[in-house]
Structure 1
């Protein structure tokens, strides 16, 4: 894989991740869900597993409705898997919780953007 391809994957991931964080911080659950592939799987410990953008949007909407906001990633790390995929892991915090992202698998789409295929994270407090 060329350095150019690697840079493209990382750039697409960072752009999509920022869109997700911005949507969440604005209270836009549908905007959060739009950053996932249609059949994405989100494992949110201890809350459960959510499949597809409809279930994922409902999860984020409940958190937003419960007053959660101001998400920020702490020391994110990105590992490029191949020419179309990368994994982000990070600590995270928001106004009423914190935790760890063990795996955000971002996949390049036909239009050059990235979307989440797998999202695994844990709330620790």
Structure 2
């Protein structure tokens, strides 16, 4: 994801904006493996199903399931961002298109919260991702 290792100060909003663009790009390529690499090894995804998805392997399976059911056209629009040199958060509106029972395009969306951990190289990886 975003790498600012050469920077001594952080523009958190710009980092989150880039992380969201990278995540959307992986989603819109239906690349569950690329999405999973955006998360730390003990990450949690908490979807509206109340399921607890733990770690990159389960995260890859979860998003693979969304892709196989027809979800595409994902977009994260930043609401707020903050943090420091270790932990960064972002909130966003999300939208995507799925398929209805009859195969027609069906819009979906809601609000998401993301907590990132800054890695040793300055990049951000997701620790917690929840959405409704």
TM-score normalised by L of structure 2: 0.79
Displacement of 1:61 in angstroms is 0.2
RMSD: 1.6
Deviation at 1:5, TM superposition (A): 2.5
How is 1:83-122 mapped onto 2 (pairs within 5 angstroms)? 83-96=85-98, 97-101=108-112, 103-122=113-132
More helix by share: 1
Spell out, residue by residue over 1:3-39, the C-alpha distance to the aligned partner (whole angstroms, 9 max, x if none).
x6231x4444333322211011001000111101111
Tell me the residue number matched to 1:49.
52
Contact 2:21-2:76 within 8 A present in 1 as well: no
Distance (whole Å) between structure 2 residues aligned to residue 72 and residue 52 of structure 1: 23
Aligned to 1:39: 42
Gaps of 5+ in 2: 1-7, 99-107
TM value normalised by structure 1: 0.83
> Cα distance, 1:47 vs. partner?
5.0
